[in-house]
Structure 1
Amino acid sequence: MAVMSIATYGFTMIAARMLGPGSYGALVAMMNTLLVVSVLQLGLQATAARRISSTPDHVAQIEQNILRVTWRASLVLGVVMLALSPVVNQVLRLDSMPTAILMALIAVPMTMMGGQAGILQGERRWYPLAVLYLANGVPRLLIGWALIAWRPDEFTAMVGVALGQVIPVLVGWWTLRHTRQPGIDTTDHRLREVVRETLHNSQALLAFFALSNVDIIVARNVLDDHAAGLYAGGLILSKAVLFLPQFVVVVAFPTMSTVSERRKALTRSLTAVALLGAGATIGAAVLPELAMIFVGGAEYAAIEPKLWLFAILGTFLSMLQLLVYAVIARQGQHSIHLVWVTLACMVALGLTTTSVSGLLAVVIGADAVLFAALLAVSYWIVRHPAPVQETAPRTTEAAAA
């Protein structure tokens, strides 16, 4: 996962240097939109991982239904994105329908990977999962770099992303190609139940990814192209800090799905994420010149004094992501409402800003308030067992008893 994150970061850094602030701002807007769209992929992954880790006796049934739902959901999402391409083209100010259509094509393999990764994660098959993550990062870097060098524009960069996204799906198919022997079936893991939980998890992750990516869309509507490009350059550091501790979330999530271990898992995971974020923030504050090399170079020099603030933003986002996964692990229903409320407030206040500093202050402030609220709610629920809607679905045997 570290190699995948470095490869993904390397792709964005290369794109920032070779495209310049104007075109790079458009690329970041598209990539952030794809991050929001990826909530279905992550919802499938969380559903598979939680169900398999909590009820390993039903792994064959869960795997079969997860793969079935994954293929259907991927195609449906691709069709929906294709129908919305004119809207995407207008909202992101791409001025290129082929580029907007390309985003719909990327969404299909991206979603397919989610179900495959979730099965491997739930079964704790770390080696093949590691290969899957490597395939999700390294090809994008190599192919994207070659294509941008050939033709430096946002459409070519997205072609590189599309080609790179197919490879992890092939890896996942090869890893899961053998059919498992039938085990114990239960009505709790029927296709309908899997779809219901996937939609719930996707809705929770949609709230988080919309919150963590809406600021660049706001920036492109309240700032000029150059200023929005500078803000996008600062977000390279924020996203690096956000995805740096991604391995903590992946490894801790199956444990957070277990009632007896979730408090300890949440505490240790938050501590690890906070320490990584603090290290990145101190580094950006003490060595801003070094940080600028990774952000995009001299063209983005205007944001050098603010890089430590972008690192703080990334730290809050990484801790918020962990708290959202903790909500998913316990199948919470109401905590995610706080994320949607914060998103609405952030957009409303962000649209009143006129500078990079003003928008950054609004985003950090909103994330900090949300973090404090979710942290308090999470520890309260972990300490005091939640009602039925905050716990995992009952098994058939428990319901019968």
Structure 2
Amino acid sequence: MTKMATETTQKLRSGAVVAVAMAVMNVSVYAYTVLVAHSIGKAPYGAFSALMGLLLVISVLSLGLQATGARRISAAPHQVAAIERVVLGVGLRSAVVLGGLCLLAAPLINGLLRLESLPTALLVGVTAFPLTYMGAQLGVLQGEERWVPLALVYLAQGLGRIGLGAALIVFRPTEFAAILGVAAGAWVPVVIAWFALRRPRARSEHSEGHPGLELLREVGVSSQALLAFFALSNLDIVLARATMPDDQAGLYAAGLILVKAVLFLPQFVVVLAFPAMSKRPDVRTMVPALAVIAVLGALGVAATALLPDLALLFVGGDDFAEVSGDLWKFGVVGTLLSMIQLLVYSALARRQGRAAVVLWTALAVLVVGALFVHTAPSLVLLVATIDAVLCAALLVIALISSREDAREPAGSATA
């Protein structure tokens, strides 16, 4: 009983450390965005936002590397040294290739986004390298469950951006300085992770099961599933702008601030639960984490419903009062997206491809459905309905997959 209590205490401490670090990171990133919006002007901020959207898409490869590295290390702890070498090697090569492609595409980026600044477009490639390699580093730390170094990397990711970025913007308030701050800040967590991972390790002879090409294939599968999730959780505002009057699109955008807050709040649960789901890829390891996310989301929805005026201040103030009565619905969307995110990572832990097909299908339904709604309340209701059905479908897939795995012979599962 004492040992169990000690392990529980350690998990709670680890969870608290990672949760605080990720909260500081998210607040820092949000604060930097607000600082840029107030410092460089409306037109330059439009260019900055477009570049940040592009970097968000590029970061999917980083998330794929992190998920793959963490899964493989968690599932095969006796091969940590060998897997780590492969993950970091693939991460470095991926970072070089993606960064190089972005540098070559800089003239195209400059033209498509109407930046009128080739140096600014080149910073996308400069940022893509550390952003991608950091994914491999995070995957190793997460898979080894080294929560304190992992928390420091997350902390550096946020504080590095706002610290270096703010200094650059004060010196020169332009979109170039704002993106340069993002690029410079992206190197800080890479350096910290390098120090955390540079300790000598015993070399393993059992590396034949994790060659670079095989790992790269898994990264590709993981990345496209995560891309589908990112598209599903971000495309609605694009659809709102395309199908609604400006005032309704503005109201919907205000509500999305609450969606992002509720989505990011329990993100630490996914980070902590993923190694356990990789070690024991069945529903029983996922359910407690899913329950925690549901409870946190329910508390957020209840607080929004009971205190709509306070929630309204958070999303933009009296200018958006028309949406105050519907803010709890945005809280529901954020909760469902958080649960979907965990279910997606659970599918990655089981290497289950059916989840990606369901995600892309839900995205297609959202695009078609959005053509028939023209107000913020109707769109949030549509999104909530699609997300609820998607969440249920992913849960059913997880249950079916778990039963199929349980029926497999022990030797097959080990292989």
Q: Same fold (TM over 0.5)?
A: yes
Q: Distance in 2 between matches of 1:288 and 1:29?
A: 31
The reply to whether residue 376 of structure 1 matches residue 400 of structure 2 is: no
The normalised TM-score by structure 1 is: 0.85
Question: Could you say if the C-alpha distance between residues 210 and 247 of structure 1 is closer, same or farther in structure 2, counting changes exceeding 3 Å?
Answer: same
Letter in 2 for 1:192: L
Match of 1:218 among 229, 232, 239: 239
C-alpha displacement of 1:202? 1.2
Name the amino acid aligned to 2:132.
Answer: T
For 1:123 and 1:74, how far apart are their aligned partners in 2?
22
The CA distance in 1 between the partners of 2:89 and 2:338, in whole Å, is 31
Could you say which residue in structure 2 is the equivalent of 1:50? 71
The match for 1:326 is 346
Q: Secondary structure at the match of 2:354?
A: coil
1:95 lines up with 2:114 in the alignment: yes
Match in the other structure for 1:128: 149
Superposed displacement of residue 159, structure 1: 3.4
Q: Counterpart of 2:185?
A: 164
Q: Which amino acid aligns with 2:115?
A: S
Determine if the alignment matches structure 1 residue 264 to structure 2 residue 284.
yes
Deviates more, 1:6-15 or 1:63-72: 6-15
Report if the CA contact (8 A) 2:286-2:346 is conserved: yes
Aligned to 1:182: 203
Take 2:65 and 2:292, find their aligned partners in 1: how far apart are those partners?
Answer: 26
Return the match for 2:387 from 354, 363, 367: 367
1:317 and 2:356 aligned? no
Aligned residue for 2:23? Answer: 5
1:239 equivalent in structure 2:
260
Larger displacement relative to structure 2 (357-366 or 97-106): 97-106
Q: Does structure 2 conserve the Cα–Cα contact (< 8 Å) formed by 1:33 and 1:213?
A: no
Q: Deviations over 1:35-75 (max 9, x none)?
A: 33322111111111111111112111111111111111112
Q: Establish whether residue 346 from structure 1 lines up as the match of residue 366 from structure 2.
A: yes
2:85 maps to which of 64, 80, 88:
64
Q: Are residues 230 and 161 of structure 1, via their aligned partners in 2, closer, same or farther at CA, if it must alter by over 3 Å?
A: farther
Aligned AA (1:12): Y
Shift, 1:110, TM fit: 1.2
Q: Aligned AA for 1:67? A: L
Structure 2 vs 1, CA of residues 106 and 356 (structure 1 numbering), >3 Å: closer, same or farther?
farther
Q: C-alpha distance in 2, partners of 1:25/1:281? A: 31
Q: Distance in 2 between matches of 1:300 and 1:25?
A: 21
Letter in 1 for 2:255: G
Distance 1:57 1:15, change over 3 A: closer
Cα deviation, residue 351, structure 1: 4.2
Among the aligned pairs, what percent are the same residue?
45
Bigger Cα Rg: 2
What is residue 201 of structure 1 aligned with on the other side?
222
Pairwise CA distance, 1:274: 0.5
Question: In 2, distance between residues paired with 1:38 and 1:158?
Answer: 15
Higher relative contact order (CA 8 A, sep 6+): 1
Aligned residue pair count: 391
Structure 1: which 5+ residue stretches go unaligned?
none
**Over aligned residue pairs, what C-alpha RMSD do you find?**
3.2
- Whole-Å separation in 2 of the counterparts to 1:314 and 1:149: 34
* In structure 2, C-alpha distance between the alignment counterparts of 1:291 and 1:121, rounded to whole Å: 34
- Other structure's SS at 1:335 match: helix
Quote the Cα distance in structure 2 between the aligned partners of 1:366 and 1:285: 21
Is the Cα–Cα contact under 8 Å of residues 17 and 296 in structure 1 kept in the other structure?
Answer: no
3-state SS of paired residue (1:181): coil
